[in-house]
Amino acid sequence: MFLAEFFLRPIGPCLTRCLCLGILVGLGDIASLHGETWSDISGKFNIEAEYVGVEGTAVVLRRSDGVVAKVPIAKLSAESRARAQQLYQAAQNAAPADAQASETTQPIASSLAQPDFAPTPPNVPPMPAFPENASLQQTVTFVTEQALAGHPEVLWYALPQDIRAGFDSAEVRSTLQEASVEQQSLYQPISDGFMKACEILIRKKQFVLNTPALAMAPPQAKQIITQVYDPLTGLAYESFTALSDMKLLTEHSIRDWANYYGPRIGGHLHALAAVAPPGMIQQYTTQIQVQQTDAFHGTLSIPQPDGTTKTIEMEQYRGRWIPQELAKVWEEKGASLAADLKKQMEESRAQMKANGGQTEAATQAFTQMIDANLNPLLNASTQEEFDQALGGVIAMATMFQGGPALPQ
């Protein structure tokens, strides 16, 4: 897992295009109702004004004549930036306690019935409340520690509260529910196929581990495979179930969905991390460079598998450190999230109509091939039957590589 994606994955690639502007919440001046002097970075320009709050990358100031100005934080002098940060933190501390305390209580259960082969997820301790007014380093450390401890839902709470509220709005969830109902007949056969694959991996574990390819593996490799098998199959099952549980997502909230599936997925991830080579994860995380340039800006430098380094510009945005790009998109497109989702639905309908049923035909063909090859694996009662059926699956996979494209 690469921490470069820690702050981006919770919103998903589809919703990233639709990130939207929430209601700008003014933070009142807690420390003083009187105007004070604010200066720019050159020291040549000053303004007497009252601090109102912070909106994105700007501090909001109100002059004595009532005129409100938004001054980019980056253009303020060091003293004025420090004063803005002081007043911002005072407003945060005076505000009601973060709703996360109630959000992370006992979650609503899944709306899906658990099959008898469902693996039991490892237990993980409750996630502590996300730290308020944290530095960039403290934020990265908390997110890293909680993700490794079995709480991928920390990514949801890493977002500012108003962004979470925007995604969890009734209008957005209603649009998602409409889309899921509309396309259920198209995706249900594919969903059933993937669930059947999970069932095979869990019910036929010994047959899988004793296939000729694994039986001939070096003892050390086979030992590693045996150690990671249960966490990997559990992770596959819980991840796929989470993606299928649209009812919990749309009829309740993303918060409830994250609180329920986060620790279940995270328990398996934590078990996988436990069998990693000693020091491997720590070696990677210690290579992440965190630099906070001022109270509201910083960078993350993250090593990549190809030896390069990815740099992400970070910004403290409404109490949370998030990528500047995300903050910018939210400011520009926030109000249109539900409308953009509806537009995507309309485009999807038009594309399917233009395809003339080709998408449905591709889905049916895929489903038929899945059933023809997975049912023999599931019904195998001996190693020989399983190995023979597995040969058919490999042949199908080879043939399917050049087959028709499935819906995204």
Q: What is the mean pLDDT of residues 335-349?
A: 82
One domain, residues 153 and 40: no
Quote the CA–CA distance of 124 and 268 in Å, as a whole number.
10
> Which tens digits make up the pLDDT trace of 374-394?
999 999 999 999 999 998 788
* Contacts of residue 193, Cβ cutoff 8 Å, sequence gap at least 6: 366, 367, 370, 371, 374
* Structural domain range at position 53: 36-94
- Say if residue 301 is in the same domain as residue 363: no
Nearest 5°: the CA angle 360, 364, 368 is: 175
DSSP secondary structure letter of residue 95 = S
Local confidence band at 16 (pLDDT 50, 70, 90 cut-offs):
very low
Residue range 151-162, pLDDT digits in tens: 999 999 999 988
Longest dimension (CA), the chain: 87
Same domain assignment for residues 311 and 332: yes
What is the rounded CA–CA span in Å between residue 279 and residue 302?
18
CB 62 within 8 A of CB 50: yes
Quote the mean pLDDT of the chain: 79
Contacts for 32 with CB less than 8 Å, ≥ 6 apart? 50, 51
Neighbour order of strands in the sheet with 46-55 = 36-39, 46-55, 58-62, 68-72
Calculate the CA dihedral of residues 94, 97, 99, 105 and round it to 10 degrees: 170
- Lowest mean pLDDT of 47-51, 128-132, 134-138, 186-190, name the range: 186-190
Instruction: Answer yes or no: are the C-beta atoms of 173 and 147 closer than 8 Å.
Output: no
- The pLDDT tens digits of the residues spanning 266-304 come to 999 999 988 888 788 888 888 899 999 998 999 999 988
pLDDT above 60: residue 6: no
On whether both 299 and 208 belong to a single domain, the answer is yes
Q: How far apart are CA 63 and CA 100, in angstroms?
A: 35
Domain annotation covers residue 24: no
365 and 346 within one domain: no
The total of structural domains in the chain comes to: 3
Q: What does the pLDDT look like over 170-180, one tens digit per residue?
A: 888 888 888 88
For residues 157 and 187, state if they share a domain. yes
Q: Please indicate, yes or no, whether residues 262 and 319 belong to a single structural domain of this protein.
A: yes
Average pLDDT over residues 93-101: 44
pLDDT digits (tens, 9 = 90+) for 226-271: 999 999 999 999 999 998 888 888 888 889 999 999 999 999 999 9
Separation CA 267–CA 237 (nearest Å): 12
Whether the full predicted model's pTM is greater than 0.85, yes or no, is no
For residues 302 and 8, is the Cβ–Cβ distance under 8 A?
no
209 and 187 share one domain = yes
Q: Which of 68-82, 133-147, 317-331, 367-381 has the lowest mean pLDDT?
A: 68-82
Q: In terms of domains, do 228 and 215 share one?
A: yes
Same domain membership, residue 173 and residue 202: yes
Measuring CA to CA, which residue among 2, 71, 4, 59 is closest to residue 26? Answer: 59
Is position 23 within any domain?
Answer: no
In a domain, 30, yes or no: no
Question: Is residue 219 situated within a structural domain?
Answer: yes
Residue recorded with tokens 């004595």: 64
Q: What φ, ψ does residue 135 adopt, rounded to 5°?
A: -75, 170
Do residues 182 and 259 both lie within one domain? yes
Tokens 């030896």 belong to which residue?
A: 307
Contact 406, 397 (CB under 8 A): no
Residues 26-73 have pLDDT tens digits of 223 323 334 688 888 888 778 888 887 776 667 888 777 767 788 888
Q: Is the pLDDT of residue 360 over 80?
A: no
State the pLDDT at residue 280.
83
Evaluate if residue 207 carries a pLDDT over 90: yes
User: How much is the pLDDT for 31?
Assistant: 31
Question: Does residue 326 share a domain with residue 193?
Answer: yes
At residue 32, φ and ψ (nearest 5 deg) are -155, 145
User: Percentage of residues in the chain with pLDDT exceeding 90?
Assistant: 34
Q: Residue 70's domain is classified under what CATH number?
A: 2.30.30.700
What would the two tokens of residue 388 be?
């023979």
205 lies in a domain?
Answer: yes
